[in-house]
Amino acid sequence: MALNVTFDWVNKLINILAPQTEVLIQDLINVIRNQEDELYPGISYDQIATAAGKDDLGGGITVGVTLTLINNWRLKFWEPAPPGYQALIRGGNLVGGIAGNPIAFTPLVQVRMIQSASGVIAETGVSGLTPEEAAELFSIKPDIRGVDNDTLKTLSGQLDIAQADLDNPDQYKADVSGLALESTVQDIKDKTDQLTFTIPGKVDATAELTAEEHDQIMLIDDIKVETDKITDMQADLKRILGLVHENVFIDLPVYDPDNNLISARVRIYSSASNVGTDIGVIGSYLISSDPAGLGKFNSWRQERI
């Protein structure tokens, strides 16, 4: 089935049109090459992508396809997205884009890319493995082990435990009951804003202040400084509430060939009604990991951006 897309030459976006939710790499290559071959506007612009693969390995096996988007071109899925919209990219590898990310952000859309590190394709309808070869291949599956000598069965159990932990985010929430509530801080600020001070008489700029007048002026300056600190505390408290998973939105996920999450964007909001939009964003963070094989990582990092 032909892929239904439009090309935004100004913003360098390949727009996947509704209601498509699945993209095959070969279909994407075909529409890109057709567009590049067009007299206008195709050949008037720089190349969109390069592609490699499908080298014949014999026995009906070919090298997998890798499509690289160049010159800052990216793939974008349609919006507004319906609830539960998940997009799938398969049939090869998709790389390139901007800063190594070939997918443009679409609100409320989760994009899953099935990448292949092995880089081979088995064609149907042609000779491949014999039944004896297939039986021998599958017979060695139980002996496949991870870097720490775990069997596939053990690794599968570890993944199930990790998924169960991820499905229970409440266990990661910090106990902030001992912190001052935002309403308490606001109440203190409101009361300090209502404080008034009277300096007796008109102060002559050339006259020397009395000790009492000097103390009252210094007190006013101190209160202004404290009020500014309270305002800063309000912003910090909102950020803390976001970092303990209140009003959080995670998007732009990127997975490695083992389907490990290696990076994503986390945004925290001041109100639940704004989650998933560009309104009321308190802070944005980039989370990234250094994977160490299936279901494992060496390090995990979260940085404010």
Structural domain including 152 reads 129-172
Count CB-CB contacts under 10 A for residue 249: 18
Q: In the chain, where do the E strands start and end?
A: 5-8, 13-16, 22-24, 49-52, 56-58, 61-63, 66-69, 74-77, 86-90, 93-96, 110-113, 120-122, 248-255, 261-269, 281-291, 297-304
Span 103-125, average pLDDT: 74
Residue 119 has pLDDT above 60, yes or no: no
**Looking at the structure, do residues 121 and 144 belong to the same domain, yes or no?**
no
**Looking at the structure, do residues 134 and 42 belong to the same domain, yes or no?**
no
More confident residue, 35 or 150: 35
More confident residue, 34 or 201: 34
The gap from C-alpha 54 to its chain's centroid, in whole angstroms, comes to 31
* pLDDT given for residue 98 in this prediction: 96
pLDDT band at 121 (very low <50, low <70, confident <90, very high): low
pLDDT band at 181 (very low <50, low <70, confident <90, very high): low
Q: Residue 103 forms beta bridges with which residues?
A: 75
Looking at 172, 198, 229, the residue that finishes a domain is 172
Residues 138-167 have pLDDT tens digits of 555 555 555 566 666 676 777 778 777 777
- Long-range contacts of range 225-228, CB-CB < 8 Å, 24 or more positions apart? 226/192, 227/189, 227/192, 227/193
**Looking at the structure, do residues 66 and 91 belong to the same domain, yes or no?**
yes
Looking at 120, 147, 172, the residue that finishes a domain is 172
User: What length is written for the chain?
Assistant: 305
**Looking at the structure, do residues 57 and 105 belong to the same domain, yes or no?**
yes
116: in domain: yes
3-state secondary structure of 287: strand
CA–CA separation, 213 and 85 (whole Å): 67
Number of domains in the chain: 3
263: in domain: no
Span 54-67, average pLDDT: 85
More confident residue, 132 or 82: 82
Q: Based on C-alpha coordinates, what's the Rg of the chain?
A: 29
Cα angle vertex 130, ends 125, 133, to 5°?
Answer: 140
**Looking at the structure, do residues 134 and 214 belong to the same domain, yes or no?**
no
Residue entry with tokens 């169960």: 164
**Looking at the structure, do residues 219 and 96 belong to the same domain, yes or no?**
no
**Looking at the structure, do residues 30 and 122 belong to the same domain, yes or no?**
yes
- Residues 263, 285 contacting (CB under 8 angstroms): no
**Looking at the structure, do residues 93 and 187 belong to the same domain, yes or no?**
no
* pLDDT given for residue 203 in this prediction: 46
142: in domain: yes
**Looking at the structure, do residues 139 and 195 belong to the same domain, yes or no?**
no
pLDDT band at 117 (very low <50, low <70, confident <90, very high): low
Residues 220-249 have pLDDT tens digits of 666 666 667 777 777 777 777 666 767 889
The 3-state DSSP composition of the chain as helix, strand, coil percent (nearest 5) reads: 30, 30, 40
Tell me the average pLDDT of the chain.
Answer: 80
CA–CA separation, 255 and 248 (whole Å): 20
**Looking at the structure, do residues 106 and 168 belong to the same domain, yes or no?**
no
